[in-house]
Structure 1
Amino acid sequence: MDDRLVDLETRIAFQEQGIQDLEAVILRQQKEIEALTRRLEAAEQRLRAVTPSNLADLSEETPPPHY
């Protein structure tokens, strides 16, 4: 009985350590995702500023010939 208890305590200790390790990985990945999201948004803004749109604004559009 005593050996089984020690075995269970050992397993729980390893599981707790594994959970802590996984939490650290998840936290690091979340920070990386947030940083990459910010970089992507900044890149999209720069791209929009540099690349002119081929679509004219609705106020600049001339009506079609059948009007």
Structure 2
Amino acid sequence: MTEIEERLAHLIRTVDDLSDTVARQDREIAVLTRRVEMLLYREAQRESEGTGGVVLGNEKPPHY
């Protein structure tokens, strides 16, 4: 009986540790998702304003 109780205690601790890990990863994913959305929004604004173009080869940027 003692062996079963020890194994159960170990399993409970493992499940708690895994639960904490999943919760932390969920928070990190939420933060990263917000950052990606912000970057996509900024890039969309930059494209609509016509700034942030790419200079190809020996083409001069528009401000020259």
Question: Which TM-score bucket, shorter chain as reference?
Answer: 0.7 to 0.9
In structure 2, the partner of 1:20 is: 20
Q: Which runs of 4+ in 1 moved over 4 A?
A: none
In structure 2, the partner of 1:60 is: none
RMSD of aligned residue pairs (Cα, Å) = 1.3
Q: Which has the larger radius of gyration?
A: 1
How many residue pairs match? The answer is 51
Gaps of 5+ in 1: 52-67
Structure with the greater relative contact order (CA < 8 A, sep ≥ 6): 1 or 2?
A: 2
TM-score by length of 2: 0.73
| Identity level (%) | 14
